[in-house]
Chain A
Amino acid sequence: MPAIFGQILVGAVLLAVVALAVRSLWKTHKSGGHCTGNCGSCKHCRK
């Protein structure tokens, strides 16, 4: 197998991982953070 395919494969996996990380951050951001159970720090609770 030529090295170039391996490099493309690794690059693709890397890109996917980074995309997932960004998506996860974005989703957390959108939903106003996790709920920690203390309402003082919660955007939903504060309305």
Chain B
Amino acid sequence: MGNWPGVTVEKKEGRLRGRKDVVIQDLPGIYSLSPYTLEEVVARDYLVGEKPDAILNIVDGTNIERNLYLTTQLIELGLPVVVAVNMMDLVRRNGDEIDLEKLGQALGCQVVSMSALKGEGGMAAAEKAVEAAVAGRAGELPHVFTGSVEHAVAHIEESVSGMVDAGYLRWYAIKLFERDEKVMESLRISPELADHLEAHIADCEAELDDDAESIVTNQRYAYIHGVVSRAVKKKAAAHSLTASDRIDRIVTNRVLALPIFAGIMFLIYAIAMGGWSVSIGTRGTDWANDVLFGEWVPGLFHSILTGVGVAEGTWLYGLIQDGIVAGVGAVLGFVPQILVLCFLLAILEDVGYMARVAFIMDRIFRRFGLSGKSFIPMLVATGCGVPGIMASRTIEQDRDRRMTIMTTGFIPCGAKMPIIGLFAGAVFGNSPLVAVSAFMIGIAAVVISGIMLKKFRIFAGEPAPFVMELPAYHAPAPGNVLRATWERGWSFIRRAGTVILLSSIILWFLMGYGFEGGSFGAVEDMNNSLLAAVGSAVAWIFYPLGWVGENAWKLTCATITGLIAKEEVVNFFGIAFNYAGEADLMEDASGLYPAIAAAFTGLNAYSFMIFNLLCAPCFAAMGAIKREMNNAKWTVGAIGYMCGFAYVVSMIVYQIGGLFTGETTFGVFTAVALVLLAGIIYLLVRKGYQGEAVRNLRSVSAAGI
């Protein structure tokens, strides 16, 4: 068991290379074994509940004091502990010396050195941990605390000695001394015993004039400070500037920080998303869409299929080419862009810049219940929502990450551009204001949702103090970066092979089949397809949005096909309005303008556009939401919220806007729209959920474990 620092490595179980009988469980990175964050509770539940044979505690040698704080707590568990001091190469380069032997003696466990960056010592550390596990004996537990605390702890140990596993006795006693509610609950301490323990704790608190939790933390740090001052020789004076600090003086400088941040963000955008010659990501994706999945793969499937006797025009050929290859290909086309983007983000993260991003942007984003790190997903989402949602992975706090995932989809992505372009051209005389307003609506949707949602208990419930370490900058480790890139890229490809594959098949069937001329089969006219039937059946839902008349079902169906990929909306209009031209509608939809102009008024065109910009994103993005939320309820909640919000906003725009243009008269839905508008304003200004005074939350039980 070890806790590897570096890029957000997923919690994993693995086996030691060459030792099939050794299982290594990697736990999430933590600072302490307090009962307050989920990660810490999970880690200690594992350590106490699963009784691992040994703990391999990997500490950062450049920041040894803070790191040993967790070590002292791990040692108290009574399990064999091996401490591996990582980043030894950097320690040496700084001119510092760490006396591993002295450290080991003081802590009562084995201490070895390693450098994950250079790949040194990792295996040796693991071997040592295996040896310790086989020996199965913990070292002598060091006496970290002063007399009166040790005295109280000894009394508590005596009182509960029969109730817990002997090895864990000291750990339990210290937790009880801290009045750890989770431990008290799990031991089912009787009221009499609790009173007895409380007397000892109160005595000690009175003597030291502080609360028990503070006493323990203070003394732990005091002990470590003593150990470190004996075992570590620092070359530089305390609080002196390291190389990393000197970089930071420029990078997070009060004046330069924002321009540098903007520059780095622009660079990432330019390389991964932009439309220039340096934009490797976009060029890769264009190539994948136009050549790989535009010609090569369909060509390959064509020759294979016709080769084995499946002729063009048969249903099987159509299913494979038009359904699967086209559907899955459209999504896989984004892979180059996603890989480039994930690669760049992994570098930023590994170097240590991500923490600075949060530092710089925190002030703005926390007003909307988001995190400073939410900026990156939002920026990326202007290109494609899928990598945008995936980029939210770097946000540690659950609440901030969930909120970011829920709102990132509101940002108009590249695939929504053809929709905006179509209406701007057909209905609004090519006004550039349409595109600008679409962006404004997207950003406003993020801000409004953030302010509304953060006041709800489910988002406000978790205490999220922004106490964040700013790790020292270091050169990116190629292994870490490549692994992070590949893991994220692969999860996307995997999804294309499952969710997207199945939904492509279903939609192909709905679009191509139906009742025509009294019998069921492939349809010539799409108006007779099952999709049209479904669209007509549910079109009434959108009546309040102004999707009325004989074309209502087309709008509904266009929205449904938009779930495959938003640009499909334009393609669908091409088919539904019997567009006969030759031009690729993605590139030039002007041939479609007359039909669209005839079918829409300005207002319901706008209402349709808003709904499609804000409602549930494409299947690929929904898959990303599911993957990042990793929880069915939250996934459904997020997508439901997006649809609901889109519906409400479109309705308000259509109903209230209609009063001004004279398209609607005051009716039931106008009243509903007004009520909804008032509701949004109320949610924006009301006082948020304050219960349990966030600051005083006693334990994570409120976070819903």
Which residues of A approach B to under 8 Å, CB–CB?
A: 1-7, 9-11, 14, 17-18, 21-22, 24-25, 33-43, 45-47
Contact = CB atoms under 8 A, between A and B. Distances in A.
B11 interface: yes
A38 B38 CA distance: 9
B598 to A, nearest CB: 41
Contact of B631 (A3, A4, A5, A33): A33
Q: How large is the interface on B (under 10, 10 to 19, 20 to 34, 35 or more residues)?
A: 35 or more
Contact of A9 (B308, B491, B505): B308
Nearest to B395: A38
Given A5-B309, A7-B314, A39-B38, 9 more contacts: A5-B308, A21-B497, A21-B501, A22-B498, A36-B628, A38-B398, A41-B398, A41-B628, A45-B42
B527 to A, nearest CB: 29
Interface of B: 8-12, 28, 38-39, 42, 45, 305, 307-311, 314, 316, 319-320, 393, 396, 398, 401, 491, 494, 497-499, 501-502, 505, 627-631, 634, 703-705
A18 B502 CA distance: 7
Contacts of B627: 33-34, 36
A25 B626 CA distance: 12
Contacts of B401: 38
Contacts of A11: 316
Given A10-B305, A41-B398, A3 B311 contact: yes
A39 B396 contact: no
The 3 closest A-B pairs by CB, nearest first: A3-B309, A6-B309, A6-B308
Nearest to A14: B320
Contacts, number: 93
A41 B630 contact: yes
Contact of B28 (A10, A21, A39): A39
B502 A22 contact: yes
Main secondary structure of the interface of A (DSSP, over half): helix
Contacts of B10: 34-37
Contacts of A40: 38, 398, 703
Q: Could you say which of A33, A39, A40 has the most chain B C-beta atoms within 10 Å of its C-beta?
A: A40
B9 A37 contact: yes
Nearest to B319: A14
B8 A37 contact: yes
A7 B320 CA distance: 12
Q: Could you say which of B307, B309, B311, B319 has the most chain A C-beta atoms within 10 Å of its C-beta?
A: B309
Contacts of B38: 39-40, 45
B667 to A, nearest CB: 44
A1 B628 CA distance: 48
B11 A35 contact: yes
